[in-house]
Amino acid sequence: MTIKHRPRAGLVQGITRSWAWLALAVAAACGGGGGDGPPAPQPQGPSNAPGAPGTNGGWSPGLFLPSASFAGQCAAPRPGTGDLQGSVLTENNWLRSWSNELYLWYDEIEDRNPALYSTPQYFDLLKTFQLVNGKPKDRFHFMLPTEEWERFTQSGSDTSYGVQWVIVRNDPPRRVVAGYTQPQSPAANAGIERGAEVLEVDGVDLATAITPAEVDALNRGLFPAAPGETHRLLIRDRDAQAPREVELTSAVVTTVPVQDVKTVTTATGERVGYLHFTDHIAIAERLLVEAVTTLHDEGVTDLVLDLRYNGGGLLAIASELAFMIAGPGPTAGRAFELSRFNDKHTATNPVTGLPLAPTPFFDRAIGFSAVPGAPLPTLNLSRVYVITGATTCSASESIINGLRGVGVEVIQIGGTTCGKPYGYYPRDNCGTTYFSIQLQAVNEQGFGDYQDGFSPQNTLGADGVLLPGCSVADDFSKALGDPEEARFAAALDHRASGTCPAPAAGVGPSGLFKPLDAASVVDGVAPKSPWLESRILVEP
């Protein structure tokens, strides 16, 4: 695959401005002739005359023609499209100019001769290589074939067994367990529940497989590519002593992104709501409305929002859910999130051409799947408990940051989030779609510097933004929504006493994606289809 990924987030220090302050800054930028006009050659250091002939193939360091002058000029034009005959150089020149126009950290790109690289190599260089806290600043630099990007699905429907595997450890001794299942799916029908551990796949030992062929077999068997594939898994159910063999046949399974909606009555008679939210997809809108309506009707005075396996998605749904939690009091007329582009685009979205405006807290259903325009139910809470893990990312982090921006207390239980306050407008050129970070998302207070994620305050070795709460490992010994499940239990205990259990080793940010000690109780990775890596599990 051509997917590339990289870095960590850039620190834009001192962003603690009010929107009034920001508005003044924007006005000043516009009055000064602004940076939102059409791109023009921009000297950034020593330069030759633009387009000068010579050994550089026309490259003049620091001078940039508009990307539009190179767009669609392809080394291999696609038949039936508007592609024109070009070359690797024209494709690289387009990337060079496009990155200079839109990349968030364009001024940290080293300007290299585009004639000297293949296009994938060149794209890989068109980013910052700076480090923050010893980690790459940009971890989210991708490219992939446009035909893979341009695929659609009925909301929530995709090929799978209907079980969300969690990779607790990805090298021998490997460990994969079931995180949750979809109702009426092949996995659910086979009796697989959270905590079931995979021991073998089509006869290959999961823990010890070493050869590429063995690991390929594991990937094929755990992550089927098409409906109708049958594989045999040896699993050990939660609380079971003996393993059992199951035969699973993949199908187009419909995800239920809001599950386990329930109310727990505490010893003091207070009612605490819980909901497990896994995907910001269109059908989630209606389910979230139904869930919040139920919790409201049951009179909850606190909410535990479980986002541990939620990697984000539609930002508008994050805004709707944040409004449903907080209600109109703290949110009316305030920003849920604002996109900040590079300093050439301080007033206008350079992609849409629209004036920069914050995403509000939506108080009515947009209509992705709920009734368009219907008022959203609210819990009117001044605080929320959020369960998080390594998979908690992007729009899920926006819920945390957006609520904190309007003064709602967010108490975090679990592991450090992924740290992605960034976004893109993916762009096709010549059959490849490029993801180059173009914006940083900030909240009502102008804060968006959580590139190392959010961490509960007692997390060991955390680099990210510390929030009140407790570091607690994922607990596969209990069902999600079980008040005895370690993370849910910690939320309930913290609510009652303000205390945390001892922080678990391996839950800190450095322990999330690297090989883990066998003894660690950890926070796994929850891969969801379609997976861009051709191989999910890896050989050592």
Partner 1 sequence: MARESDPRRALNGLAAAFGIAGAVAACANGPASAEPEVPAVIVDPTPQTRAELAGVISAALGAPVTLADDALAGGSVLVVERREPRDAQGRPLSGRSLEAPERFRLVLDRGRCVLVREATDERFPLAATCAPADG
In the range 24-63, which residues lie near partner 1 by CB under 8 A?
none
Residue number with CB closer to partner 1 (38 or 373): 373
Cα–Cα distance between 180 and 192 in angstroms, integer? Answer: 9
Q: Closest approach of Cβ 273 to partner 1, in Å?
A: 26
Residue 426 within binding range of partner 1, rule CB under 8 A: yes
Q: Closest approach of Cβ 392 to partner 1, in Å?
A: 9
Q: Which of 59, 94, 341, 476 is in the footprint of partner 1 by CB under 8 A?
A: 94
Q: Fill in the per-residue mask, 294 to 333: x = in contact with partner 1 (CB under 8 A), - = not in contact.
A: -----------------xxxxxx-----------------
In the range 476-495, which residues lie near partner 1 by CB under 8 A?
none
Q: Closest approach of Cβ 154 to partner 1, in Å?
A: 5
Q: Fill in the per-residue mask, 135 to 164: x = in contact with partner 1 (CB under 8 A), - = not in contact.
A: -----x-x-x---xxxxxxxx-xxx-----
Element (H, E) at 514: none
Residue number with CB closer to partner 1 (226 or 502): 226
377, two tokens? 């139910």
Residue 102 within binding range of partner 1, rule CB under 8 A: no
Of 433, 436, 443, 415, nearest in space to 315 by CA: 443
Dihedrals phi, psi of 252, to nearest 5 degrees:
-80, 110
Q: Closest approach of Cβ 540 to partner 1, in Å?
A: 17
Of 380, 350, 377, nearest in space to 365 by CA: 377
Q: Which of 278, 342, 412, 433 is in the footprint of partner 1 by CB under 8 A?
A: 433
Q: Which of 354, 502, 518, 519 is in the footprint of partner 1 by CB under 8 A?
A: 354
Cα–Cα distance between 421 and 189 in angstroms, integer? Answer: 38
200, two tokens? 């073998």
Residue number with CB closer to partner 1 (140 or 274): 140
Cα–Cα distance between 437 and 506 in angstroms, integer? Answer: 29
Q: Which of 201, 472, 473, 525 is in the footprint of partner 1 by CB under 8 A?
A: 525
Q: Which of 261, 292, 390, 408 is in the footprint of partner 1 by CB under 8 A?
A: 390
Q: Closest approach of Cβ 209 to partner 1, in Å?
A: 19
Q: Closest approach of Cβ 236 to partner 1, in Å?
A: 23
Residue 225 within binding range of partner 1, rule CB under 8 A: no
Q: Closest approach of Cβ 496 to partner 1, in Å?
A: 33
Q: Specify whether the CB–CB gap between 317 and 287 falls below 8 A.
A: no
Cα–Cα distance between 534 and 311 in angstroms, integer? Answer: 19
Q: Which of 19, 188, 531, 539 is in the footprint of partner 1 by CB under 8 A?
A: 531
Q: Which stretch binds partner 1 (CB under 8 A): 124-132, 183-191, 348-356, 452-460?
A: 348-356
Residue 254 within binding range of partner 1, rule CB under 8 A: yes
Cα–Cα distance between 420 and 430 in angstroms, integer? Answer: 28
Q: Closest approach of Cβ 426 to partner 1, in Å?
A: 4
522: Cβ–Cβ under 8 A, 6 or more apart, which residues? 168, 169, 473, 474, 504, 506, 507, 511, 512, 516
Q: Specify whether the CB–CB gap between 116 and 107 falls below 8 A.
A: no
Residue number with CB closer to partner 1 (366 or 386): 366
Q: Which of 63, 168, 217, 281 is in the footprint of partner 1 by CB under 8 A?
A: 281
Cα–Cα distance between 19 and 336 in angstroms, integer? Answer: 12
Q: Which of 55, 241, 352, 534 is in the footprint of partner 1 by CB under 8 A?
A: 352
Of 436, 439, 395, nearest in space to 417 by CA: 395
Q: Which stretch binds partner 1 (CB under 8 A): 202-210, 356-364, 445-453, 454-462?
A: 356-364
Antiparallel, parallel or unpaired: β 465-467 and 454-456:
parallel
- Count other Cβ atoms within 10 Å, centred on residue 419: 27
Q: Which of 364, 383, 510, 520 is in the footprint of partner 1 by CB under 8 A?
A: 364
Dump the DSSP string for 419-470.
---EE---EEETTEEEE---EEEE-TTS----TT-EEETT-TT--SEEESEE
Cα–Cα distance between 172 and 498 in angstroms, integer? Answer: 39
Q: Which of 25, 131, 225, 357 is in the footprint of partner 1 by CB under 8 A?
A: 357
Count of residues that interact with partner 1, criterion CB under 8 A: 85
Antiparallel, parallel or unpaired: β 204-205 and 197-201:
antiparallel
What's 69's DSSP letter? G
Q: Closest approach of Cβ 252 to partner 1, in Å?
A: 6
Residue number with CB closer to partner 1 (97 or 471): 97
Put residue 127 in one of left, alpha, beta given phi > 0 → left and psi -120 to 50 → alpha.
Answer: beta
Element (H, E) at 486: helix 486-497
- Count other Cβ atoms within 10 Å, centred on residue 211: 10
Note if the bond before 355 is cis, omega within 30 degrees: no
Tokens 């516009």 locate to 30
Q: Which of 441, 486, 504, 522 is in the footprint of partner 1 by CB under 8 A?
A: 441
Residue 208 within binding range of partner 1, rule CB under 8 A: no
Q: Fill in the per-residue mask, 393 to 422: x = in contact with partner 1 (CB under 8 A), - = not in contact.
A: xxx--x-------------------x-x-x
Q: Which of 106, 180, 341, 424 is in the footprint of partner 1 by CB under 8 A?
A: 424
The one-letter code for the residue type at 28 is A
In the range 64-83, which residues lie near partner 1 by CB under 8 A?
67, 71-72, 81-83
The one-letter code for the residue type at 370 is A
Cα–Cα distance between 43 and 298 in angstroms, integer? Answer: 63
